[in-house]
Amino acid sequence: MIETIQQTIVSRRTIRKFLPDDIPLHTIVEILEDAKWAPNHKLREPWEVLLYKGDGKVRLIEHIQESIARTEFNEEKVEKKKEKINQFIRDIPIHLVVAVKAAGTEKERHEDFAATCAFIQNIQLLSWAKGLGVVWKTNGFIFDPSFRDEMGLDPGDVIVGMLHIGKPAFIPNPKERKSIKNKLTIYDTQPKKQPSFF
């Protein structure tokens, strides 16, 4: 049965445990081709995607471990973190580094970051619709300028996050979310905040 957009949005979960099953490259490319229809000002399409799979993950692991060594001063923690990231990257089939390209003005930077977040959410929803899970992570190394440079990104580019993608090994139960009524202020014909709902 085909899910509606509403069902896909509500049923999607962040996945943290993955099966080791390989994901065909064409499946990810299809997802990205559809995700690019995210709204973005002036059709700048400001995102840049670096994809790591198979043997390509070795390079990603090396760059992350180098960043950990540069930014973590506790040697014992360095080795633990390096081993943990090594296992994490190897165990998950697909890794995307998603960046937003440098923009000329503060307004464009704001618009482009928001557009790239919409692009990432599209990736998550499209992946879910294909039976794949995603975790969107913002580990400290994405803020390391040297890591960004080693990724081949330009000065001024910002890594919005890393997406780790695979078939879910475990789907968590939904956690309760507050009613949007707690975050919603309505202005209608009266000049004051509307205190009640239908």
Q: Give the model's pLDDT for residue 19.
A: 97
Q: What is the CA radius of gyration of the chain?
A: 19
So what CATH class is 5-183? alpha beta
Write out pLDDT tens, residues 91-118.
999 999 999 999 999 999 999 999 999 9
Whether 1 shows a pLDDT value over 70: the answer reads: no
Q: What is the 3-state secondary structure (H, E, C) of the chain?
A: CCCCHHHHHHHCCECCCECCCCCCHHHHHHHHHHHCCCCCHHHCCCEEEEEEEHHHHHHHHHHHHHHHHHHCCCHHHHHHHHHHHHHHHHHCCEEEEEEECCCCCHHHHHHHHHHHHHHHHHHHHHHHHCCCEEEEECCHHHHCHHHHHHCCCCCCCEEEEEEEEECECCCCCCCCCCCHHHHCCCCCCCCCCCCCCC
The strands making up 133-137's β-sheet, listed across from edge to edge, are 47-53, 94-100, 158-166, 133-137
Whether 150 has a pLDDT exceeding 60, the answer reads yes
- pTM here is 0.92
Query: Dihedral of the CA atoms 85, 88, 92, 94 (nearest 10)?
Result: -20
Banded model confidence at residue 3, pLDDT cuts 50, 70, 90: confident
Q: Where does the pLDDT of residue 190 fall: very low under 50, low under 70, confident under 90, or very high at 90 and above?
A: low
Chain segment 45-82, per-residue pLDDT in tens: 999 999 999 999 999 999 999 999 999 888 889 999 99
The band of 2, judged by pLDDT with boundaries at 50, 70 and 90, is low
What's the pLDDT band for 195 if we cut at 50, 70, 90? low
pLDDT of residue 197: 60
Our CA dihedral for 59, 61, 66, 70, rounded to 10 degrees, sits at 140
**What does the pLDDT read at residue 41?**
95
Long-range contacts of the stretch 72-75 (C-beta < 8 A, 24+): none
Note the pLDDT tens digit of each residue in 12-46.
Answer: 999 999 999 999 999 999 999 999 999 999 999 99
What confidence category does residue 188 fall into, taking pLDDT thresholds of 50, 70 and 90? Answer: confident
Question: Mean pLDDT, the chain, as a whole number?
Answer: 94
Measured CA to CA, the distance from residue 19 to residue 5 in angstroms comes to 26
Per-residue pLDDT at 73: 87
- Is the predicted pLDDT of residue 83 greater than 70, yes or no? yes
